[in-house]
Amino acid sequence: MILAIDIGNTNIVVGCIDDEKTYFIERLSTVRTKTELEYAVDLKTVLDIYHIKKTDIEGCIISSVVPQITDIARLAAEKILKKEVMVLGPGVKTGLNIMMDNPGQLGADMVADAVAGLASYPVPFIVIDMGTATTVSVVNDKKQYIGGMILPGVGVSLDALTSRASQLSGISIDAPKHIIGKNTIECMKSGVLYSNAAALDGIVERIEEELGQRTTVIATGGLAKKIVSHCKREIILDEDLLLKGLRVIYEKNK
């Protein structure tokens, strides 16, 4: 098995995975002031909780959209595993044909999602990754990554709403009893959930219009589970997608 780490703006996703199954997925808070030792303690604690020995782990790969802590996390993982850690970036083979104006600008998380999609789902496909930002990746029927979208994440939208409206307080992102809210909390929950679900439905519809083809749609990320069930369009929920992509990339480069 390998240790796969995805560093996002809000959370660090940590998991152990091999070609047969995912052994666990956990989330740590992304803290830019933490030291190498503090992250090493976090990683060791997670492995200990799941009774995974460092000798059971063949290697490690990291994807990151937070450059300030990428190297700190790499050194932390190397301190625990006593092995060289791979970082997804320039020089790492992915097998992904990126048809962007500047392929180097494509986030490592979006690369890993698309690689996993190619390994597991028919083309053309759309990957929706719902984290701090909601990212949309499009791979066409020639297996080319042709582009996508980036929009404010569910949590970001909710934080903006509550910080700018003095009468609105923070809420949990749970399904309300009614689409038409009967009180302020229900109205906010309904607005957040169904606006995002409708946005995904509309985005998929418009992308398919531009492609002229129907697509496979896959959703992943920490908030996908709460939103996808409210979409009218059939969307496959794959919470392990990014880690699967990191495993495929690791195998291509080991």
Q: Does the annotation place 183 within a ligand binding site?
A: no
62 within a domain of the structure (yes/no): yes
Q: Does the annotation place 12 within a ligand binding site?
A: yes
Token reading at 120: 């597991």
Pick the catalytic residue: 109, 113, 238, 240? 109
Look at residue 167 in the predicted model and tell me its pLDDT. Answer: 61
Categorise residue 194: left if φ over 0, alpha if ψ from -120 to 50, beta otherwise.
Answer: alpha
Query: What digits encode the pLDDT tens for the residues 43-65?
Result: 999 999 999 999 999 999 999 99
Domain boundary among 87, 114, 138: 87
- Tell whether 73 and 123 lie within a shared domain: no
| Pairwise CA distance, residues 126 & 113, whole Å | 10
Q: Which residues contact 243 (CB under 8 A, 6 or more apart)?
A: 4, 6, 13, 15, 17, 22, 25
- Tell whether 76 and 135 lie within a shared domain: no
Tokens 């995805």 correspond to what residue? 6
Token reading at 165: 């409206």
Domain boundary among 57, 87, 117: 87
With 0.85 as the threshold, say if the pTM is over it.
Answer: yes
Q: Is the peptide bond before 152 cis (omega within 30 degrees of 0)?
A: no
Q: Does the annotation place 215 within a ligand binding site?
A: no
Token reading at 211: 């492609």
Q: Is 42 a catalytic residue?
A: no
Q: What is the four-CA torsion angle of 132, 250, 58, 22, rounded to 10 degrees? A: 50
254 within a domain of the structure (yes/no): no
- Tell whether 76 and 106 lie within a shared domain: no
Look at residue 157 in the predicted model and tell me its pLDDT. Answer: 87
- Tell whether 21 and 147 lie within a shared domain: no
Q: Does the annotation place 13 within a ligand binding site?
A: yes
Q: Fill in the amino acid letter for 55.
A: T
30 within a domain of the structure (yes/no): yes
Range of the domain at 158: 97-245
Look at residue 89 in the predicted model and tell me its pLDDT. Answer: 93
Q: What is the four-CA torsion angle of 136, 139, 141, 146, rounded to 10 degrees? A: 100
Domain boundary among 66, 87, 108: 87
Q: Does the annotation place 188 within a ligand binding site?
A: no
Token reading at 247: 């495993």
Q: Does the annotation place 70 within a ligand binding site?
A: no
115 within a domain of the structure (yes/no): yes
Look at residue 169 in the predicted model and tell me its pLDDT. Answer: 64
- Tell whether 116 and 239 lie within a shared domain: yes
- Tell whether 104 and 188 lie within a shared domain: yes
Look at residue 217 in the predicted model and tell me its pLDDT. Answer: 98
CATH number at residue 163: 3.30.420.40
Token reading at 82: 């006593």
* Nearest Cα residue to 95 out of 216, 249, 242, 218: 249
Q: Fill in the amino acid letter for 41.
A: V
Low-confidence ranges of the chain (pLDDT < 50): none
| Domains contained in the chain, number | 2
Token reading at 232: 């009218």
250 within a domain of the structure (yes/no): no
Q: Is the peptide bond before 124 cis (omega within 30 degrees of 0)?
A: yes
Query: What digits encode the pLDDT tens for the residues 76-104?
Result: 999 999 999 999 999 999 999 999 999 99
- Tell whether 31 and 108 lie within a shared domain: no
| Pairwise CA distance, residues 15 & 144, whole Å | 28
2 and 230 Cβ atoms separated by less than 8 Å:
no
20 within a domain of the structure (yes/no): yes
- Tell whether 169 and 236 lie within a shared domain: yes
Cα→Cα distances 178→95, 195, 231, 233, Å: 46, 14, 15, 20
Look at residue 172 in the predicted model and tell me its pLDDT. Answer: 76
- Tell whether 71 and 180 lie within a shared domain: no
| Pairwise CA distance, residues 241 & 46, whole Å | 20
Q: Does the annotation place 109 within a ligand binding site?
A: yes
